Amino acid sequence: MKSIIALSFALLVGFTQAACPNSCSGHGTCGVDEVCTCYPGWGTGGNAGGDCSERFCPYELAWVDNPTRNGGRHRYAECANKGTCDRDDGECQCFSGYEGKACGRQSCPNDCSGHGTCEYMKDLAFGIVYNEYYDGSSNALSGVGVGGKSFQGYSWDEDRARSCVCDAGWLGLSCGERMCPYGNDVMDVIPGFDETSLVGMPGYGNEYAQVQTVTLYDADLDNTRFFTKTFAIQFTSKLNETYVTQPIMWDSDDDVMAGYIESALKKLPNKVIDDVDVDVDSDTDADGAIIHVTFTGSAVQGKQHKLEILQDTCEEGCTPRISGLTNIRTFSATTLSTVEISTLGDHNSFECGRRGTCDRKSGICNCFTGFTGDTCSILTALV
């Protein structure tokens, strides 16, 4: 009799265990009505329940989805709706152009070809240099610094959408194309040009070079605080190469200080600034100094990127090692430290001097007939 009871109990237990599909695959518990309650991350066909034999994949804000009743979008979706889920291992198989555990970020084309970095949209900047955005047109748009202006809080995908930021000398969506050197269009005609005039650059008649004006003010309106302090200047070429001068010491004698600045700029590598004239005026306003930098060299004809002032302290282990202009005034109602283009200049600056085409593979200009030189700015014949 006891054997019959034991056998009946075993059959009852076996029947109960077999009631849930596949015994919930070992990834859930069998409940009322023989329905599996799956452990987190398990289900069937992307849904809860079933036999708990398949994994869920990570969720992220959907790149695209149908709107809700109230018009809402970008709800959380498996693989962000930009990939398929491998139910065996719970990993997303992202579509081309997307990556990450839930396909939650864009990849950059061709990994930026090895000539750039893949950056989030929130980190992309307006302008190449600081004073392209802070152009001195108002008090709020003044100051000195380094780098373009980035913006935060742009949109829902600012930390997901990405783009290539190319290294110096490269361009294109995948940074796979070389830039060619820039130069003046030798055939450009300057209205009212008089080659005998002495009012412009020496030997150029009444042609004027670009002049950038740097104004630097002490926050307490006492520029004697800058005496013997050191700072540096960063120049960005038209190929987006950055060059930083040696430390420049602030001198109480304007001519001496102008000489320091001019020498530092001319010493930059590769003769990137082949000639420049510098004038310093601290007499007009004793609260600060006005520095005029005139780009007179043939390598810097036409519009150049604005100079950037490195005025923060840069000590041991930092380069260039400078004490910095630690009390500089970057905002005021009247006296502003900033960098502006005070004279546009008569020359221009075009890739290959507008007299040739750029070989994007080599970065060398293919000059039109009658022109030569690395920027096609030398006339060989009239055609």
Range with the poorest average pLDDT among 25-29, 73-77, 163-167, 202-206:
202-206
pLDDT of residue 44: 92
Q: Which residues, in sequence order, are bridge partners of residue 322? A: 314
Euclidean distance between CA atoms 178 and 170, whole angstroms: 5
- State pLDDT tens for residues 78-119: 999 999 999 999 999 999 999 999 999 999 999 999 999 999
pLDDT of residue 332: 57
- State pLDDT tens for residues 139-159: 778 888 899 999 887 788 999
Q: Find the helix or strand (DSSP H, E) in which 211 lies.
A: strand 211-217
What mean pLDDT is predicted for residues 366-381?
92
Given its phi and psi angles, is residue 72 left (phi above 0), alpha (psi -120 to 50 degrees) or beta?
beta
Cα R_g (the chain), whole angstroms = 33
Amino acid making up residue 34: E
Query: Is there a contact between 107 and 162 (Cβ–Cβ < 8 Å)?
Result: yes
pLDDT of residue 143: 84
Query: In degrees rounded to 5, what are phi and psi of residue 225?
Result: -65, -20
Place of tokens 């930026």: 112
pLDDT of residue 223: 78
Range with the poorest average pLDDT among 106-110, 220-224, 248-252, 273-277:
220-224
Query: Is there a contact between 205 and 370 (Cβ–Cβ < 8 Å)?
Result: no
Kindly report the average pLDDT of the chain as a whole number.
Answer: 87
pLDDT of residue 62: 95
Q: Which residues, in sequence order, are bridge partners of residue 288? A: 217
The whole-model pTM stands at 0.82
